[in-house]
Amino acid sequence: MVRVGRQIFVRTVALYASFLVAASVLARVGDPELGAHQIAYELFIFLSLLLDALAIAAQVIVGRLLGAGDAAGAYAAALRMIAWSVVLGLVFAIVLAPLSHVLPRAFTDDPQVLHQAALLWPFLAVMQPLGGAVFALDGILIGAGDTRFLMWSMLAASAVFITLAAFALALGWGVVGVWAALDVLIATRLALLGPRFLSRRWLVVGWELD
């Protein structure tokens, strides 16, 4: 429990540290950019919690099936969970996409903030199906006890994001550059977790995971 808890803690800290870096970069760019980022970040967290409902289900179901020695059943259930999570993410993206000039007004009436929110909005929408797949894979691999891989893959994705965020600040890419980098963060996680899932190395029914 201590080992798994430590690895999940590092993974979670790396994820939140990435968003902290994003806020730090945009605070140096300007108040409207930071305000728009905060609106999008709050929506991201809200939608992530909804997607996490499927991830937690995946965690429990995969853990139970692997504990029962049913590796084939665990893989089949995991595929279904990924599919449902991606579909839910697509629904979120479709709902969000046309609301770039509507939903931010629930948070502010500042025209500069609203302009910046509209600029980053496509990246928030695109993030939803990507996040759906990633959150489902998180739950699956946590249920399988593959937390060491989750930790290192998150650290690698965060390193990619921080590098891009530094370029965004140095080259004046603004809120678009930072949110494009956040999309790359999620996409990098998917690029790392996807092959791990397909390799089936996480389908371990014993005590230890290689």
Structural domain contains residue 168: yes
Domain that holds residue 179: 2-199
Instruction: Work out the burial of residue 113: count CB atoms within 10 Å of its CB; fewer than 13 is exposed, 13-18 middle, 19 or more buried.
Output: buried
In whole angstroms, what is the distance from residue 39 CA to residue 2 CA? 35
In whole angstroms, what is the distance from residue 124 CA to residue 93 CA? 8
Structural domain contains residue 116: yes
Structural domain contains residue 36: yes
Structural domain contains residue 104: yes
Query: Nearest-5° angle of CA 120, CA 127, CA 187?
Result: 115
% of the chain surpassing 70 pLDDT: 98
Q: What is the dihedral of CA 81, 84, 88, 91, to 10 degrees?
A: 160
Q: What is the domain count for the chain?
A: 1
CB 169 within 8 A of CB 28: yes
pLDDT higher than 80, residue 210: no
Structural domain contains residue 107: yes
pLDDT higher than 80, residue 206: no
Structural domain contains residue 102: yes
Q: What is the pLDDT of residue 138?
A: 94
pLDDT higher than 60, residue 175: yes
- Residue 168: closest CA among 67, 29, 20, 19: 29
What integer is the mean pLDDT of 22-38? 96
List CB contacts of 87: < 8 A, sequence separation 6 or more. Answer: 132
In whole angstroms, what is the distance from residue 210 CA to residue 199 CA? 12
Structural domain contains residue 48: yes
Structural domain contains residue 125: yes
